[in-house]
Amino acid sequence: MNNRFVIRVFEMVGSSLCVASDDGQKVHDEVASALKAEKKVAISFANVEGLTSAFLNAAIGQLYGEFSEDEIRRSLSVGDMNPDDIALLKRVVETAKQYFKNPKRFEKSVQEALGGR
Q: What is the DSSP string of 73-94?
A: HHHEEEES--HHHHHHHHHHHH
Tell me what pLDDT residue 73 has: 96
Backbone angles phi, psi at 43, to 5 degrees: -105, 120
CA distance 31 to 28: 5
Helix, coil or strand: residue 51: strand
Tell me what pLDDT residue 102 has: 80
- Which among 42, 21, 19 has a CA at the least distance from the CA of 30? 42
Tell me what pLDDT residue 45 has: 98
- Which among 106, 86, 87, 83 has a CA at the least distance from the CA of 96? 106
CA distance 99 to 95: 6
In this prediction the pTM is 0.87
Q: What are the residue ranges in the chain where pLDDT is below 50? A: 1
Q: Indicate the average pLDDT of the chain.
A: 92
Tell me what pLDDT residue 117 has: 55
Backbone angles phi, psi at 31, to 5 degrees: -65, -50
